[in-house]
């Protein structure tokens, strides 16, 4: 009995306790002694880990110091997953539930830049490039490991970097087959969202579930980097931030972080110049990470000055340790950029454009021209003695604040800016389905696409598109002063040369071009021809230039004024800091290249339909490049190479008129033998003959022959045909004319200063070239342009109604340019471009402008915009004292 007592309950408990403490002692020895140095180093490393502190971007101001873009203090609610894991953790959901409750109670918006949407399920990427959407979708899927199951099932668990180019293409195809709903549900499962939300015992709505999914996805994307926080709500009210500060102890991982927020005080004012900022997208993360950016939180300039001056505007992020304490590194604000833009003039320009467009829309038609779709326009003003841009407007604009708000774009904003539903918009306008299919066909360039349509005839406004710097459009009659300069300088005309304008012109081939709207203007010289805008006069000048000096003489003069450039030029452009297109004037090299592309397209379409240009049917032959062509080999060449050789030969036939029937027959036989699609199809010798004859007809008889027609020079002389320029180019041309022939590098940036106001750099005027124009030629041409506005004493100039009574005499030129053939324009509801270019004062110019309204009709109406611009520019001139304009009162809002 005594021995049994020794092994009773108390003894057993004692033994268990000894064992437990022994295990603890062993563990402590392991941690503190055996692995003590390792854990000491790890603890020190964690103590020294830093969390980035966002640096404020530099200011953007106008020339007078008005702040167009600035930084405001902001408060963000963030979550940091210090466990560095994405496993199902119900504690996270409980914390988030508390966070969402406070946000909802205080009316705060949650961050939602997650591109995978629900109800309906779809991807929405903030990209205007529809072809780039698939690339972004693939990046989204691969970043989240969606490809892993496919690699395991179809590629023997290979890593993606081990795949061949063909296998990579197959993998991408499989990923793109996944529907947005399938991806959405897979992520819900992987992140444990359904289980986590269920543990909260709350009503599970789709919107609620998506809230948690967005945060869990952010944790997943930050899992590669410890202590990186993700934003749950941004730019919250200070009162809301105080509520969070009082309850942070109950919400592990949640912080209130100070984050400077970009603000554009005047909304969409100058959006075409300023551009906007955005979070770094997945495709660019490696590039920006290499530059020291925190790709999970930093914003970068996407367009405009924000993008062009990114390296100056972006400050240096600071850093604070994981543990509380003073900053390890202070954040340094970016540099301040002062523009040459005058905010008051910019405001007046945008208001004048919008006002005139609304007026035109309300009229519907003006003298037979359709102006009902006058929904887009652009205007530029330049200091002619420096090249500094004083105003650059593109309408409709956008509000850059929409993009700096890091809770992301709303669905309505995303659709407006990046994913317009053309079919829905067209139906709202009452367009028939057949017309919708014609104007907005399905975009077949997007693989597998059955819903996304493209705006074939550029009918609707694109809010993020800069119409001032990017739109290439025919200049119409505003080009005529350029033709006059070339004619006068070469001596084919002088100030006394006359021509009888009968309202028509023989363009060759038995075709007479009639100018019904203008009528017969009678006997005109160069001055009155500019004033009255005589097409026959300037077409005749074009013919004289061609006869004496060849087809390229007009281009050589135009290039000196910034209208196009030598095709061999490596860096054509105005020099402006932001993105621009650069149009071209008619010249033989560019004409050949353009014709080669145009007629190759016609032949490709003929072959694809199996109907020649003269209506003869033949077996369809595919000349289009198809995916996988480079993997189909035939006698040492792949199918892509065979097609390319045929198409290069066609281009040469257009350019040079060369054609060898037997060589084309042999090439087409190789194509047919190489392409597997023809194995069970019978293509006869007759089919080949018809196909080759179609090449001869389209490429040689039509294409090459068109190159030698005088018609090209005639229409170029009046600003049509190949003459396509941006409004920025047109303002540059007028500036060069007005200042006597000096072509300056155009610029928007006036200076850069540090945060203390110290000048770091200043933009000096830079001359890009000197135009071959005598002072006599300049005076003759400007006399005609002064007469256009009534400054020369005439009252019948085409812009005299708008500018004839303006206190300060101005000079200019109106223009009307066709968008397309009249029947196409009428069918799709497009109209002519309305142009006005000019300078002021007439006798001693200081500023040059250009204005265009898409579908705006006559330049005489567009000149009203110029009046609004001049009202602002000359508002302090004593001659304006008694003048009451349409836009001078509104300018006070900017002061």
- DSSP β-bridge partners for residue 812: 838
Beta-strand runs (E) in 699-822: 724-725, 742-744, 749-753, 759-762, 767-770, 811-817
What is the total count of domains within the chain? 4
CA-to-CA distance for 757 and 415, rounded, in angstroms? 41
861 in any annotated domain: no
> Same domain, yes or no, for 35 and 115?
no
Asked whether 301 and 403 are in contact (CB, 8 A), the reply is: no
What's the angle, vertex CA 398, arms to CA 396 and CA 401, rounded to 5? 165
DSSP-assigned letter for residue 335: P
- 383, 738 Cβ separation under 8 angstroms: no
The answer to whether residue 387 is domain-embedded is no
pLDDT for res 505: 96
Domain of 245? 74-121+180-259
450: Cα separation from own chain's centroid = 24
Pairing outcome for strands 742-744 and 122-123: unpaired
Name the pLDDT band for 562 (thresholds 50, 70, 90). Answer: very high
Among 821, 838, 860, residue at a domain's last position: 821
**Domain shared by 205 and 90, yes or no:** yes
Residues 631 and 737 in one domain: no
Mean pLDDT of 788-795: 85
**Interval 679-708 mean pLDDT:** 95
Q: Could you tell me if residue 611 is inside a domain?
A: yes
CA 395 – CA 382 distance, rounded (Å): 18
Pairing status of strand 277-279 against strand 637-638:
unpaired
Mean pLDDT, rounded, for 573-587? 96
| Separation of alpha carbons 300 and 281, rounded Å | 10
Ranking 65-74, 178-187, 216-225, 308-317 by mean pLDDT, the lowest is 216-225
Greatest mean pLDDT among 226-235, 708-717, 880-889 = 708-717
Average pLDDT over residues 810-838: 95
Percent of the chain residues topping a pLDDT of 70: 90
Q: How confident is the model at residue 297 (pLDDT cuts 50, 70, 90)?
A: confident
The larger pLDDT score, comparing residue 657 to residue 680, is at 657
24, part of any domain: yes
pLDDT over threshold 70, residue 364: yes
Query: Any idea which residue has 């929405």 for tokens?
Result: 124
771 within some domain: yes
Specify the 3-state DSSP secondary structure of 576.
Answer: coil
Segment 281-300 shows an average pLDDT of 84
Give the mean model confidence (pLDDT) for residues 290-297: 82
Residue 823 has pLDDT above 80, yes or no: yes
CA–CA separation, 49 vs 45, rounded Å? 6
Residues 534 and 618 in one domain: no
| Least confident residue range of 220-224, 311-315, 451-455, 543-547 | 220-224
Is residue 562 domain-shared with residue 650, that is, in the same domain? no
Structure-token pair, residue 157: 């668990």
* Structure confidence at residue 242 (pLDDT): 92
**Residue bearing the bigger pLDDT, 304 or 162:** 304
Which of 791, 821, 851 is a domain's end point? 821
CA distance 308 to 580: 12
Query: Strand 60-61 relative to strand 336-339: parallel, antiparallel, unpaired?
Result: parallel
Mean pLDDT of 565-583: 94
Based on the fold, state whether residues 500 and 636 are members of the same structural domain: no
Percentage of the chain with pLDDT > 90? 68
Confidence of residue 117 (pLDDT cuts 50, 70, 90): confident
Residues 80 and 222 in one domain: yes
Model confidence band, residue 11 (pLDDT cutoffs 50, 70, 90): low
CATH number at residue 566: 3.40.710.10
In this structure, the answer to whether residues 570 and 594 fall within a common structural domain is no
Cα 676 versus chain centre, distance: 40
Write out pLDDT tens, residues 122-176. 888 876 555 577 888 898 999 999 999 999 999 888 888 888 888 888 899 899 8
Q: What is the pLDDT of residues 441-467, one digit of tens each?
A: 998 877 777 788 999 999 999 999 999
In a domain, 296, yes or no: no
Residues 6+ apart with CB under 8 A from 405: 234, 235
Q: What is the DSSP letter of 832?
A: P
Last residue of a domain, one of 228, 259, 290: 259
- Tokens 């005749």: give the residue: 540
Q: Which helix (H) or strand (E) holds 102?
A: helix 90-105
* pLDDT at site 133: 78
Same domain, 250 and 205: yes
User: Which position has the higher pLDDT, 385 or 109?
Assistant: 385
Give the other-Cβ count within 10 Å of 455's Cβ. Answer: 17
In this structure, what token pair is assigned to residue 24? Answer: 């603890």
**In the structure, what pLDDT confidence band is assigned to residue 891 with cuts at 50, 70 and 90?**
very low
Give the sign of the dihedral formed by CA 650, CA 716, CA 709, CA 521.
positive
Position 114 scores a pLDDT of: 86
Same domain flag for 734 and 782: yes
Render pLDDT for 770-790 as a digit per residue (tens, 0 to 9): 999 999 999 999 999 999 999
Q: Does residue 555 fall inside a structural domain?
A: yes
pLDDT band (50, 70, 90) for residue 36: low
- Does 356 score more than 70 pLDDT? yes
DSSP string, 606-650: HHHHTB-TTS-B------S--TTGGG-EETTEEHHHHHHHHHHHH
pLDDT (mean) for 213-220? 90
The answer to whether residue 264 is domain-embedded is no
pLDDT of residue 15: 67
- The verdict on 116 and 244 lying in the same domain is yes
Token pair of 298, please? Answer: 């930093």
Q: Please give the average per-residue pLDDT across 786-804, as a whole number.
A: 90
Give the largest Cα separation in the chain, rounded: 143
3-state SS track over 454-477: CCCCCCCCCCCCCCCCCCCEECHH
The pLDDT of residue 883 is above 80:
yes
DSSP class per residue in 557-612: HHHHTTSS--TT-SS-S---SS-----B---HHHHHHHHHHHHHHHHHHHHHHTB-
**pLDDT level of residue 434 (50, 70, 90 thresholds):** very high
| Spatial CA neighbour of 789 closest among 754, 819, 813, 769 | 813
- How confident is the model at residue 766, as a pLDDT? 98
Residue 657 has pLDDT above 80, yes or no: yes
Average pLDDT over residues 595-616: 96
Q: Is the pLDDT of residue 470 over 90?
A: yes
Residues 570-588: what's their mean pLDDT? 95
> Same domain, yes or no, for 615 and 761?
no
Mean pLDDT of 317-331: 66
Higher pLDDT, 377 or 680: 377
Average model confidence (pLDDT) across the chain = 89
């Amino acid at each position: 009995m005594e021995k049994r007592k020794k092994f009773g309950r108390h003894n057993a408990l004692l033994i268990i306790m000894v064992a437990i403490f022994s295990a603890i002692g062993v563990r402590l020895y392991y941690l503190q002694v055996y692995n003590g140095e390792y854990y000491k180093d790890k603890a020190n490393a964690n103590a020294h880990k830093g969390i980035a502190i966002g640096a404020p971007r530099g200011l953007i101001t106008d020339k007078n110091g008005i702040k167009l873009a600035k930084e405001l203090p902001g408060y963000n609610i963030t979550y940091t997953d210090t466990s560095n894991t994405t496993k199902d953790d119900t504690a996270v959901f409980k914390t988030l539930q508390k966070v969402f409750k406070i946000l909802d109670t205080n009316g705060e918006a949650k961050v939602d830049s997650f591109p995978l949407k629900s109800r309906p399920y779809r991807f929405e990427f903030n990209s205007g490039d529809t072809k780039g959407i698939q690339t972004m979708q693939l990046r989204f899927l691969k970043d989240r490991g969606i490809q892993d199951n496919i690699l395991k099932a179809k590629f023997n668990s290979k890593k993606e970097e081990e795949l061949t180019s063909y296998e990579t293409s197959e993998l991408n195809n499989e990923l793109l087959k996944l529907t947005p709903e399938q991806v959405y549900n897979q992520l819900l499962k992987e992140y444990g969202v359904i289980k986590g939300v269920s543990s909260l015992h709350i009503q599970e709505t789709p919107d609620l579930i998506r809230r948690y999914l967005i945060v869990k996805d952010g944790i997943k994307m930050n899992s590669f980097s410890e202590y990186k926080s993700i934003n749950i709500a941004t730019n919250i009210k200070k009162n809301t931030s105080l509520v969070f500060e009082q309850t942070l102890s109950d919400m592990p991982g949640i912080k209130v972080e100070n984050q400077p927020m970009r603000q554009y005080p005047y909304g969409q004012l100058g959006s075409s110049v300023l551009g906007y900022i955005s979070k770094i997208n997945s495709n660019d993360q490696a590039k920006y990470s290499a530059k020291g950016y925190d790709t999970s939180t930093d914003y970068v300039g996407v367009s405009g000055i924000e993008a062009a001056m990114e390296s100056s505007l972006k400050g240096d992020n600071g850093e604070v340790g994981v543990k509380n304490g003073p900053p390890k590194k202070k954040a340094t604000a970016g540099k301040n950029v002062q523009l040459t833009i005058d905010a008051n003039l910019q405001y007046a320009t945008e208001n004048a454009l919008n006002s005139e467009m609304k007026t035109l829309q309300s009229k519907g038609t003006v003298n037979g021209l359709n102006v009902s779709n006058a929904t887009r326009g652009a205007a530029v003003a330049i200091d002619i003695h420096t090249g500094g841009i004083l105003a650059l407007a593109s309408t409709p604009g956008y509000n850059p604040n929409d993009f700096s708000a890091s809770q992301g774009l709303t669905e309505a904003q995303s659709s407006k800016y990046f994913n317009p539903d053309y079919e829905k918009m067209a139906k709202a306008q009452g367009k028939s389905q057949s017309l919708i299919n014609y104007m907005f066909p399905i975009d077949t360039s997007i693989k597998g696409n059955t819903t996304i349509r493209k705006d074939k005839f550029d009918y609707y406004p694109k809010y993020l598109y800069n119409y001032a710097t990017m739109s290439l459009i025919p200049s119409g009659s505003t080009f005529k002063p350029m033709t006059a300069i070339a004619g006068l300088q070469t001596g084919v005309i002088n100030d006394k040369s006359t021509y009888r304008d009968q309202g028509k012109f023989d363009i060759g081939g038995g075709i007479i071009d009639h100018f019904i709207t203008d009528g017969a203007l009678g006997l005109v010289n160069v001055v009155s021809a500019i004033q009255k805008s005589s097409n026959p006069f300037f077409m005749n000048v074009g013919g004289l230039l061609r006869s004496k000096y060849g087809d390229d003489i007009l281009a050589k003069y135009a290039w000196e004024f910034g209208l196009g450039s030598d095709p061999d030029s490596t860096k054509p452009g105005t020099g402006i800091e932001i993105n621009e297109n650069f149009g071209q004037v008619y010249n033989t090299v560019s004409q050949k290249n353009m014709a080669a592309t145009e007629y190759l397209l016609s032949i490709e379409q003929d072959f694809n339909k199996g109907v020649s240009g003269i209506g003869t049917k033949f077996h369809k032959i595919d000349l289009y490049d198809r995916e996988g062509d480079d993997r189909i080999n035939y006698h040492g060449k792949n199918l892509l190479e065979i097609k390319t050789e045929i198409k290069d030969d066609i281009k040469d036939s257009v350019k040079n008129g060369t054609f060898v029937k037997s060589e084309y027959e042999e090439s087409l036989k190789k194509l047919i033998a190489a392409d597997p699609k023809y194995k069970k199809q019978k293509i006869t010798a007759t089919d080949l003959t018809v196909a080759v004859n179609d090449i001869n007809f389209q490429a040689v008889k039509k294409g090459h022959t068109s190159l030698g027609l005088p018609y090209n020079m005639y229409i170029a002389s009046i600003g049509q045909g190949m003459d396509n320029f941006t409004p920025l180019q047109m303002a540059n041309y007028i500036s060069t004319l007005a200042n006597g022939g000096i072509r300056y590098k155009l610029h928007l940036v006036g200076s850069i200063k540090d945060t203390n106001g110290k000048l770091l750099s200043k933009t000096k005027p830079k001359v890009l070239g000197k135009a071959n124009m005598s002072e006599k030629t300049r005076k003759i041409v400007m006399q005609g342009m002064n007469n256009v506005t009534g400054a020369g004493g005439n009252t019948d100039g085409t812009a005299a109604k708008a500018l004839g009574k303006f206190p300060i005499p101005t000079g200019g030129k109106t223009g009307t340019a066709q968008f397309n053939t009249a029947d196409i324009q009428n069918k799709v509801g497009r109209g002519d471009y309305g142009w006005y270019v000019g300078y002021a004062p007439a006798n001693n110019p200081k500023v040059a402008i250009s204005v265009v309204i898409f579908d705006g009709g006559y330049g005489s109406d567009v000149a009203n915009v110029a009046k609004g611009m001049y009202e602002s520019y000359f508002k302090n001139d004593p001659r304006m004292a008694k003048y009451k304009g349409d836009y001078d009162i509104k300018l006070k809002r900017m002061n």
